[in-house]
Structure 1
Amino acid sequence: MKKIGVRIVLVFLILLGISCHSLKNSKKSFDTKQNEIYIDSMVNNALEKEFFPGAQIVVGSKDSVFILKNYGYHDYSKKELVKTDDVYDLASMSKVLGATLVAMHLVGEDKINLEDKLGDVVSIYKNTAIADLTLFELLTHTTGLKSGIVFYQSLLSTSDGLPLLSSQKSENYPDLFDNMYVNKNIVYDSNYLSFEPKDNYVQVYKNMWLNPEFYKTGYEKIAVANTNPRGKYLYSDLNLILVQQMMETKTGKKLDQLANEIYSELVISKIGYNPLKWTSEQKVIPTEIDNFFRKDTIKGYVHDEAAAILGGVSGNAGLFANAQSISVICQMLLNKGKYHGKQILKAKVVREFTNSPLTKKGIYRGLGFDKRKPDEFYKKNDFGHTGFTGTFFFLNPNNNRFLIILTNRVNPTRTNRLMYKDDFCPKIWKQINE
């Protein structure tokens, strides 16, 4: 009897230990009120200091949305409040929410392979220096390609023979663009650009159409853009433009069509390329006042010039969305590719793309997805992406939380980097993971 009693006590202690261990390691519940107060304070401070004119923020988990809020206005005229249905230019978040998402689907369906070589798939690169680059290298930014090419500047010249840009303001250079001043005598190349519609021309802005013959010269430039050591990490817009070409060649479909098929499965409609085709101009948040190329406040058309040249549909940029639509994608990713009982992406593919396969080389990057070296803001398994226009989304698969922040910090100018200097997004990300 005594031995039985001792065994019962031991079993009880073991169970108690397991319970305590489980309690200690259970996911801490989300304090919605406390986090909302923190986010409100951060955003109100940012609006007061003009980090950006307005924002949409969503905080959620794999099966719940805790916070969905809109702040501020479309621009500093303060005429139009930000609403839930308004869409933001996502800039480089397009790399994952567009091209990478499509790549994940195609890999899962065995329609493309991570070891497929660029030259074997896209014939124009067959006998070039970049022919052997693999889809894996393109998605992990380890190709050695330079960070980007300003394709559009070869479409511009000046009637006075002076440079396009100057570091000094003067009578000939009156208007600011980024940190440079623009020559007032800009001339557009009429061989390639038209200010009225033409047969087979591609619309690149509301009053601007491009001769598709221009693309040949652009692709020739990409083919000789491998100026860095292959295998080393260098983030490049060119990589995702090439991913787009590989996927379009493999499937015979355009990137926007491939992406829309996934969005339709997720039943989200406030996301896509060329937003004026599926929402009103009033619901598109404006970005920069472009004094250089388009001579206008960019609204309803992509901010990124490379994506604009490609007709608004590009692997590197071009997506517009509201935060609510992105939250559905986040929940699908945290649920291992499943949403509302439907398997959108293969679980093993989600795992493969969001892990960091090159950490041993000191490269903190997923396939398409951004990852960060663990620090005070980011944990080892976090993944997501940011965008030049002032956009951010990250997911933590350990506690199944995500954060989406959409802003237009480039309005009226891209020189405004206050939100980055203040670590605005990382601070909120840290807070919701406390």
Structure 2
Amino acid sequence: MHKLRHTLFILFFSATVLVKGQAYELLHHKVDSVVSSAIQSEAFPGCVIYAAKGDSVFFLSSYGHHTYDSLRRVAVNDIYDLASVTKVAGGTLAMMKLYEEGFYNLDDPIGAFVDGLRNNIGELTFREILSHQAGLYPWIPYYDESKKKNGKYRSKSISDINGSDYNFPLSDSLFLHKDFYLKIKKMIRKSEVSKQKSYRYSGLFFYLIPELVKSLTDTSYQDYLDYHFYNPIRAETLTFNPLDKFGKNRIAPTEIDTFFRMKSIHGRVHDEGAIMMKGISGNAGLFSNAEDLGKLFKVFLQDGRYDSAHLLNPSTIQLFTSSQYPNNGNRRGLGFDKPLLKYDSIRSSVAKSASFKSYGHTGYTGTIAWADPESDLIFIFLTNRVYPSRTNRALYDLNVRPSIHQLIYNYLDGQYSQKTYPVENTK
């Protein structure tokens, strides 16, 4: 009897493992199909897909090439420009820690903390701004606003001559003035603020976060993030200005710029505002591979812990990832994006199965990082859909990211598993 039960257990266990293996192969097949079709449609030249549940990274695959010339295949550890994912992996992260350390309250006006912000902008609260409820202007083309009517750049902005005052290279022939941030701040201060308090996505405040961190902590923004987050989780590739650490062969290029820098952007931040912050801002500028970004999002799902390190309080994560103004039709948390209040398959960047407790952010280069505490799932998609041009919207038209995200949920829900055969006559 004992031998019979043991034999039946082995058969049942083997069948279950086989079914799980078949389900995993089917998941890969379905994802491969979506990505292959997207690459053939030139939605992007290549990508890396990462999915983790709990402590297990169960999906990590690379597809395609860095560019359409197919000279360099994408590897799973390649580094991508995260674009606006920086808002949660950098800017908001710093704001979470500053909040925990008691430097500000969410309903404080930002003018009390950032020098020179007066009038309407200075009266806006951190809660309003971080949840995009403040009415701030969406964005400012700083490089264009720095030009005179004759097309030449104004003084103390951009020069075609490298020198002690113009010492940051925007390209091989354009150099940024060392104090250009003062002009950025002035443009933000003078920008229009809507009187109507409703959802209006804006990145303007995120340009001010490095100054805020420095003034409150006497530590640079980059060092603050490294010390409190990136170093403890050993996220080496999660960094600004990656060419300072890595060769171009590790980094996927982005756009071939035909209107500002007039060159292929490779290893420097794609976002025009962030490059005029010398590559370091709360709005954009971070680069990372999938695994290191996944480590950071594990901190969020593990109540602020990573191994033995305690990096954030669970209550802080809960607060910042919760919608602040849902009754105003605003889905956003504090810095974090959330699923649409009513799912729309055309507009959504995430799967229909993503719970409303889930959160993350997308990036203009085509990236997304998303965490779902209900299913303990992290989904990361890194790509360079702006290569060679930002005008390509096929990534969105084909619904690539939500489609892959949904396939992963279907796998976790067991939809790809065949039923195991029944075990009978156990007596």
1:253 aligned to 2:219? yes
The 1:414–1:421 alpha-carbon spacing in structure 2 relative to 1, beyond 3 Å, is: same
Cα deviation per residue 1:398-417 (whole Å; 9 max; x = unaligned)?
01011100110000000110
Q: Residue in 1 aligned with 2:141?
A: 150
* Deviation (angstroms), 1:156: 3.9
* Deviation (angstroms), 1:189: 4.5
Between the aligned partners of 2:112 and 2:120, the Cα distance in structure 1 is 13
Q: Residue in 1 aligned with 2:3?
A: none
Say whether the 8 Å CA contact 1:129–1:224 is kept in structure 2. no
Between the aligned partners of 2:381 and 2:280, the Cα distance in structure 1 is 22
Backbone CA RMSD of aligned residues: 2.0
**What residue identity is the alignment partner of 2:215?**
T
- TM-score scaled to structure 1, two decimals? 0.82
Residue 104 of structure 2 aligns to a residue whose secondary structure is: coil
Q: Which has the higher strand share?
A: 1
Say whether the 8 Å CA contact 2:320–2:335 is kept in structure 1. yes
Cα deviation per residue 1:310-333 (whole Å; 9 max; x = unaligned)?
111111101111111111112111
1:390 aligned to 2:366? yes
1:367 aligned to 2:339? no
1:408 aligned to 2:384? yes
Residue 274 of structure 2 aligns to a residue whose secondary structure is: helix
Unaligned runs of 5+ in 2: 1-19, 346-351, 411-427
Q: Residue in 2 aligned with 1:194?
A: 159
Q: Residue in 2 aligned with 1:33?
A: 25
Say whether the 8 Å CA contact 1:118–1:246 is kept in structure 2. no
Residue 55 of structure 2 aligns to a residue whose secondary structure is: coil
Between the aligned partners of 2:179 and 2:212, the Cα distance in structure 1 is 20
* Deviation (angstroms), 1:202: 5.1
Between the aligned partners of 1:44 and 1:101, the Cα distance in structure 2 is 34
Q: Residue in 2 aligned with 1:266?
A: 233
* Deviation (angstroms), 1:347: 0.8
Residue 290 of structure 1 aligns to a residue whose secondary structure is: coil
Q: Residue in 2 aligned with 1:129?
A: 120
Say whether the 8 Å CA contact 1:273–1:318 is kept in structure 2. yes
Say whether the 8 Å CA contact 1:196–1:209 is kept in structure 2. yes
Q: Residue in 1 aligned with 2:405?
A: 429
Say whether the 8 Å CA contact 1:92–1:385 is kept in structure 2. yes
1:277 aligned to 2:244? yes
Between the aligned partners of 2:297 and 2:44, the Cα distance in structure 1 is 24
Q: Residue in 1 aligned with 2:287?
A: 320
How does 1:28-427 map onto structure 2 within 5 Å? 31-125=23-117, 127-156=118-147, 187-189=152-154, 191-201=156-166, 203-207=168-172, 208-229=174-195, 231-261=197-227, 262-372=229-339, 373-375=341-343, 377=352, 378-427=354-403
**What residue identity is the alignment partner of 2:207?**
I
Cα deviation per residue 1:163-183 (whole Å; 9 max; x = unaligned)?
xxxxxxxxxxxxxxxxxxxxx
Q: Residue in 2 aligned with 1:3?
A: none
Say whether the 8 Å CA contact 1:73–1:82 is kept in structure 2. yes
Residue 371 of structure 2 aligns to a residue whose secondary structure is: strand
Q: Residue in 2 aligned with 1:178?
A: none
Say whether the 8 Å CA contact 1:143–1:226 is kept in structure 2. no
* Deviation (angstroms), 1:157: 5.6
The 1:398–1:78 alpha-carbon spacing in structure 2 relative to 1, beyond 3 Å, is: same
Between the aligned partners of 1:392 and 1:401, the Cα distance in structure 2 is 14
Q: Residue in 2 aligned with 1:181?
A: none
**What residue identity is the alignment partner of 2:93?**
L
**What residue identity is the alignment partner of 1:205?**
L
Between the aligned partners of 1:198 and 1:128, the Cα distance in structure 2 is 36
* Count of aligned pairs between the two proteins: 379
Say whether the 8 Å CA contact 2:168–2:178 is kept in structure 1. no
* Deviation (angstroms), 1:428: 1.3
Between the aligned partners of 1:202 and 1:234, the Cα distance in structure 2 is 35
Between the aligned partners of 1:193 and 1:227, the Cα distance in structure 2 is 27
Unaligned runs of 5+ in 1: 1-28, 162-185
Between the aligned partners of 2:239 and 2:155, the Cα distance in structure 1 is 30
**What residue identity is the alignment partner of 1:272?**
T
The 1:298–1:408 alpha-carbon spacing in structure 2 relative to 1, beyond 3 Å, is: same
Residue 236 of structure 1 aligns to a residue whose secondary structure is: coil
Between the aligned partners of 2:166 and 2:102, the Cα distance in structure 1 is 34
How does 1:6-17 map onto structure 2 within 5 Å? none
Between the aligned partners of 1:263 and 1:112, the Cα distance in structure 2 is 23
Say whether the 8 Å CA contact 2:80–2:288 is kept in structure 1. yes
Between the aligned partners of 1:202 and 1:232, the Cα distance in structure 2 is 41
**What residue identity is the alignment partner of 1:155?**
S
Between the aligned partners of 2:262 and 2:244, the Cα distance in structure 1 is 22
